[in-house]
Structure 1
Amino acid sequence: MGDLADRRLLLTSARAELLESAEAELRGVPGHVAASWRRSAAGGVHPSVVTTEYHADLDLGSRLVRCARPVIEQLAEQLADIPVCVALTDNRARLLVRADTRSWIGRVADRLYFAQGFGYAEGSVGTNGVGTVLEFGDSVYIVGAEHFVESLQPYACAGAPVRDPFTGRIEGVLDISCRSENSSPVMHALVRSAAAGIENNLLADRNQQQQALFDAYSRLDARTRQAVLAVGPRTVMANSPMQTLLDPGDLPALQDHVRFVMVRHPDVDARLDLPSGTRVRLRGSTVTASGAVAGMVGVVSVDDEAARADGGVPARPARAQPVRTAPGSGPAWRAAASAVTGALQAGTAVLVLGEPGTGRFTLLSQLYPLVREAGRAVAIEPEQVEAAPADVAGRILRPGSPPVLPVLRDVDRLPGAAVEELLGALAAGAGAPPLVAATAAESGPAHAALLALFRTSATVPPLRHRSHELPDLLDALLAELAPHREVRLSREARRLLGSYDWPGNVRQLRDALAAALRRRPVGRIDAADLPAFCQSTPRGALRPVDQVERDAIVGALREAGGNRTAAAGALGLARSTLYRKIRQYGITV
């Protein structure tokens, strides 16, 4: 008893010193507890009572909850002789599930707001077995006076993170709480073991595509000592050699490239230049399940033809000389730029493929002046070709000074008759084949005859496969849209822009920033300044009427600070209807 009393006195004194002075040394306080106390004090946590918020927008039917329920029930049975609460939170420290072995311990937990829907983040509740796990990144055992808030000091809690077995990200926290006199260090071991059980359930619960990708990755990793990478639409797996092979900025670029090629080619064996200048060789194969592409698994190695250290063993990835091209640092963009540059240097016609808004014309217009001094690219729209094919042919055949690169935009939109007339006018003109470029989303039968003009093609990747470039692209677009103006994006605005898929690509991103600048022409652009669609990820294309409804819902949620009940009232909707539409439109406010 004496040791416990001495320990309690030491902790109480140290905490009192911290509340008096932020520079207190906190001698004898465990490192993770001391760090938590300092964060709690700096964050303005009330030192006496629990103050927290209730959240009504919890996903109580989530995969995490489904996989955790049997483990929680088993753990509660194991501890049936001890009055404890077993609780699961999400990765924002909000309580999802709680099981009590005694009714009275449940009533105590309710009084302390340790109940479904309430948050136990360290920033609001101080040191505890949930929020401190999320801050610390590992399991903790907090007993008595180690709690920062006085009203929690009669209790003990052990918490452990529950990680996604694929990504390694913390999905939630499992916690055991009880009175201090009923606690034991065994609680710490139990909660860690139970959290591992939930992770095993998450692993077993993965869908067929994730299963197929995981199995293919495991087989390849087992038979090679090389760097192995597996990339799915939302999943990345990398073994230890892969994690240490590349510079931090190169791995996201490589992942983007794999997502770009895996839906286009069943196998790939390519040498790629990454943003840092590192040149690697990627050899991979797609993995399919249930008739769909689950991802790609492959081996990544230093390009053997680049550079080797003494003795023939690569010491670090070789550095390729950066290609002087239009903005873009990913392998797919670099490959497209290299193909276009080669065609323009050789004076041969080139076709640039890609989704609308990806920067196909931008690539041509920025590369051509690098190949032909003072040269410029001139866009010719489909409407111009359709209205006067012969005149367009004359512009293509007529040499310009300074040099001009005619670019037929969106040739896949041209009707067959206009294509035939254009080709006839070009054939009538004497001389060498014209230097012309064109852009298209895809090759179609209407313009198949036009393809005979071209000797080279390149594909520009969509913005969703260039996510690693987004920060630089945002800065460049802001500088273009608001030159010599003090504007910047808040962290939340950048997070929101980074989480959107951008089906309209760079053009849509530029329009979104332009709209935000109309609302906030100078200063910090916040998430609320961005168009409503940035906070919506619907599963399919929306009709105009759906877009209007979605924007109204996002606007109401923003006005209500995310409060679903208040937003439903403002919109005149039942809460159940609002929740259904939030899921329908993928709204993330």
Structure 2
Amino acid sequence: MGDVLARRKLLASARAELIERPDVELPGIPGLVAASWRRSVACGVDPGAITNRYYEDLDVESRLVQCARPAIERLAEQTAGVPVCVVLTDDQARVLVRLDTASSIARAADGRRFAAGFGYAEGAVGTNGVGTVLESGGSVHVVGAEHFNEQLQDYACAGAPVRDPFTGRIEGVLDVSCRAEHSSPILHSLVRSAAVGIQDALLHDRDEGRQALFDAYSRIDARARRAVFAVGRATVLANTAAQTLLDPGDLHALQDHARFVMGRGSDIDHRLDLPSGVRVRMRGTAVTTGSTVAGLVAVVAVVREAEGVALTRAARDDRPLPEPASASPAWRAAWTTAAETLRARTPLLVVGEAGSGRKRLLADLDRALHGTTGVVEIGPVDVGEGTAAQIRRAGPSPLVVLGDLDRWDDHVPAGVVEALRDAGARFAATAEDTTRCGPALAGLLGRFERSVTVPPLRNRTADLPSLVTDVLADLAPRRDTRLSAEALRTLSRHRWPGNVGELRDTLDAALRRRPVGTIEVGDLPESCQSAPRVALRRSDEAERDAIVGALRESGGNRVAAAGALGLARSTLYRKIALYGITG
């Protein structure tokens, strides 16, 4: 008993001295506790009162909660002889579930605002078995006076992080709390074991595609001993070697490129110039489940370091090629190949989705290489008997772009090929899917000696900030307009089926809501404030837009939004998850 009192006196004295002098040494105080106390002081935590916030719109039926319920109930059964409360929180220390083994501990927890909906972050209530887990990243056992807050010092808590087994990210915290005199190291062991059980449940709850990707990544990582990463539609994995080999910008660009190519073949072997100037070799294998591509796993090796090496290759005439204004390896490769081809006056076919920037690439390159802006564009609606004459009127050596060949009516107007030759024209074409071109266009397609593929905007997320800046400058010249960081993050999660054209329409709509100043998330169209798991029907899109609108009107209050929509809260939460609503 004397040892317990002496220990409590030491802790109380050290804590009081720290509050008076934050830089004081703390001999005899465990390092984890001392570090937590110092953070608590720096955050201005009140040592004598609990003033944590209540959150009314938590998802108490989330996937984490569903997977954790069996483990929480088992843990309550294992500790049934002791008055404890078992608590699960989310990754922001907000209590989702509490299960009590006795009414006495329930009343104590309620009196200390340790209940569903309340936050228990370290910055709000000081050292505890939830917030300190999130700060330290590991399990903790805080007993009695080791708590920073006086109202918690009669209690003990053991907490452990619950990590997503796929990403390693902390998804929540499992905690067991009781009176200090009932504390035992066994509680710490039990809570850690239960947290592992929840992680196992999360692992088996994952969909088939993510499981297949994780399994393939694990197999290759185990035997490769090199930089390995994997990407899926909404998943990224990278081993320590990959994270240390490449800087974050290069790794992000590589992930974009992997998403771009993963549906185009089972195996890839690419050499890529990354934004920092590093050249890498990426060898990858697509992971499929049935007919669906779940993702791609790749091994990366540096072929050439960045220092002292130019990004562009010398052309045959020894002049440097124009530098691509993009961080996307796929775009940079398309740009460089297209530049070499156009300068050599070789016919070029540019393939890519509508709105992905195919014509813009050609126009920008022509301006950079030849200083001209007189690109002649001939699209499906322009094709007719006067097409050949239009080419001849364009002047000497124009760049003629035959746009969207796969949308031409399988007809090449008479004299077009001869007109291209007679005018000395440099010519290129764009197409989304050349397999849709009919036999009459086969001869014209055969005249193109080289082709490049430009990536869609969803695979160029690193370029989004610069593209937004350019589009805003074009739409609102001489106006001080910009996107907030949160609005830019929201746009980066969008799939952009309409590519750069859709981005322009989105920013145009946002400018109508906020003509000048900082564009916030609420100024963006409803369609951008979700990242759905599946393709949406028109009725789904209408429902999604109604939900986003209700959330916007209620200031993000989900309870109020559910009431306005006439939906149960659980239904609203499911639909928010289904549509990937982020606003």
If the length of structure 1 is used for normalisation, what is the TM-score? Answer: 0.86
Q: Which amino acid aligns with 2:298?
A: G
Structure 1 residue 45: Cα displacement: 4.8
Q: Equivalents in 2 of 1:494, 1:75: separation in Å? A: 43
Q: Equivalents in 2 of 1:217, 1:181: separation in Å? A: 47
Matched ranges for 1:501-520 at <5 A? 501-520=495-514
| Higher deviation after alignment, 159-168 or 199-208 | 199-208
The residue aligned with 2:489 is: 495
The residue aligned with 2:375 is: 377
Superposed CA deviations along residues 35-94 of structure 1, whole A, max 9, x for unmatched, are: 5445545556554024321333415251x3343333333333332322222222222323
Alignment match of 1:411 (pick from 405, 428, 432): 405
The residue aligned with 2:351 is: 353
Structure 1 residue 440: Cα displacement: 2.4
CA contact (8 A) 2:164 2:202 kept: yes
Q: Equivalents in 2 of 1:469, 1:495: separation in Å? A: 13
Superposed CA deviations along residues 84-124 of structure 1, whole A, max 9, x for unmatched, are: 22222222323333333323323332333333343323344
Identity of aligned residues (%): 58
Matched ranges for 1:161-240 at <5 A? 161-240=161-240
Q: Equivalents in 2 of 1:145, 1:321: separation in Å? A: 61
* Runs (5+) with no aligned partner, structure 1: 307-315
Structure 1 residue 175: Cα displacement: 1.1
Structure 1 residue 531: Cα displacement: 2.1
CA contact (8 A) 2:353 2:432 kept: yes
Q: Equivalents in 1 of 2:171, 2:31: separation in Å? A: 25
CA contact (8 A) 1:259 1:295 kept: yes
Aligned-residue CA RMSD in angstroms? 3.1
Structure 1 residue 199: Cα displacement: 2.2
CA contact (8 A) 1:157 1:176 kept: yes
Distance 1:499 1:143, change over 3 A: farther
Q: Equivalents in 1 of 2:247, 2:117: separation in Å? A: 41
Matched ranges for 1:539-550 at <5 A? 539-543=534-538, 547=541, 549-550=543-544
Q: Is 1:466 matched up with 2:483? A: no
The residue aligned with 2:412 is: 420
Superposed CA deviations along residues 241-287 of structure 1, whole A, max 9, x for unmatched, are: 33322222211111111111110111111211111111111122222
Distance 1:267 1:580, change over 3 A: closer
Task: Classify the secondary structure of the residue corresponding to 1:249.
Answer: helix
* Runs (5+) with no aligned partner, structure 2: 313-321
Structure 1 residue 151: Cα displacement: 2.8
The residue aligned with 2:436 is: 445
Q: Is 1:391 matched up with 2:389? A: no
Q: Equivalents in 1 of 2:563, 2:406: separation in Å? A: 48
Q: Which amino acid aligns with 1:55?
A: E
Q: Which amino acid aligns with 1:321?
A: A
Matched ranges for 1:228-307 at <5 A? 228-303=228-303, 306=304
Q: Equivalents in 1 of 2:578, 2:167: separation in Å? A: 26
Q: Equivalents in 1 of 2:421, 2:291: separation in Å? A: 51
Task: Classify the secondary structure of the residue corresponding to 2:385.
Answer: helix
Structure 1 residue 354: Cα displacement: 1.6
Matched ranges for 1:526-537 at <5 A? 526-537=520-531
Structure 1 residue 383: Cα displacement: 2.5
Q: Equivalents in 1 of 2:524, 2:80: separation in Å? A: 52
The residue aligned with 2:127 is: 127
| Higher deviation after alignment, 375-384 or 434-443 | 375-384
Distance 1:222 1:37, change over 3 A: closer
Q: Equivalents in 2 of 1:202, 1:575: separation in Å? A: 23
CA contact (8 A) 1:55 1:119 kept: no
Task: Classify the secondary structure of the residue corresponding to 1:390.
Answer: coil
Q: Is 1:553 matched up with 2:547? A: yes
| Higher deviation after alignment, 228-237 or 574-583 | 574-583
Q: Equivalents in 2 of 1:204, 1:548: separation in Å? A: 33
Q: Equivalents in 2 of 1:145, 1:125: separation in Å? A: 14
Q: Which amino acid aligns with 1:437?
A: A
Q: Equivalents in 2 of 1:135, 1:478: separation in Å? A: 39
Q: Which amino acid aligns with 1:337?
A: W
Q: Is 1:56 matched up with 2:50? A: no
The residue aligned with 1:328 is: 326
CA contact (8 A) 2:326 2:463 kept: yes
The residue aligned with 1:312 is: none
Q: Equivalents in 1 of 2:77, 2:221: separation in Å? A: 39
CA contact (8 A) 2:392 2:423 kept: no
Structure 1 residue 332: Cα displacement: 0.7
Q: Equivalents in 1 of 2:419, 2:465: separation in Å? A: 49
Superposed CA deviations along residues 494-514 of structure 1, whole A, max 9, x for unmatched, are: 322222222222232233233
Structure 1 residue 11: Cα displacement: 4.3
Q: Equivalents in 2 of 1:195, 1:30: separation in Å? A: 24
CA contact (8 A) 1:325 1:366 kept: no
Q: Which amino acid aligns with 1:431?
A: D
Distance 1:477 1:430, change over 3 A: closer
Structure 1 residue 360: Cα displacement: 1.6
Distance 1:428 1:334, change over 3 A: closer
Task: Classify the secondary structure of the residue corresponding to 1:194.
Answer: helix
Task: Classify the secondary structure of the residue corresponding to 2:560.
Answer: helix
Task: Classify the secondary structure of the residue corresponding to 1:27.
Answer: coil
Q: Which amino acid aligns with 1:27?
A: L
Q: Equivalents in 2 of 1:226, 1:148: separation in Å? A: 45
Q: Equivalents in 1 of 2:324, 2:170: separation in Å? A: 38
CA contact (8 A) 1:273 1:320 kept: no
Q: Which amino acid aligns with 1:540?
A: A
Task: Classify the secondary structure of the residue corresponding to 2:386.
Answer: helix
Distance 1:274 1:216, change over 3 A: same
Q: Equivalents in 2 of 1:546, 1:297: separation in Å? A: 32
Q: Which amino acid aligns with 1:558?
A: R
CA contact (8 A) 1:53 1:118 kept: yes
Matched ranges for 1:306-325 at <5 A? 306=304, 321-323=310-312, 324-325=322-323
Superposed CA deviations along residues 105-163 of structure 1, whole A, max 9, x for unmatched, are: 23332333333343323344443222222233222222333334433332221212111
Q: Equivalents in 1 of 2:120, 2:472: separation in Å? A: 38
Q: Which amino acid aligns with 1:440?
A: A
The residue aligned with 1:95 is: 95
Task: Classify the secondary structure of the residue corresponding to 2:270.
Answer: strand
The residue aligned with 2:315 is: none
Matched ranges for 1:5-20 at <5 A? 5-12=5-12, 15-16=15-16
Aligned length: 568
Distance 1:81 1:298, change over 3 A: same
Q: Which amino acid aligns with 1:377?
A: V
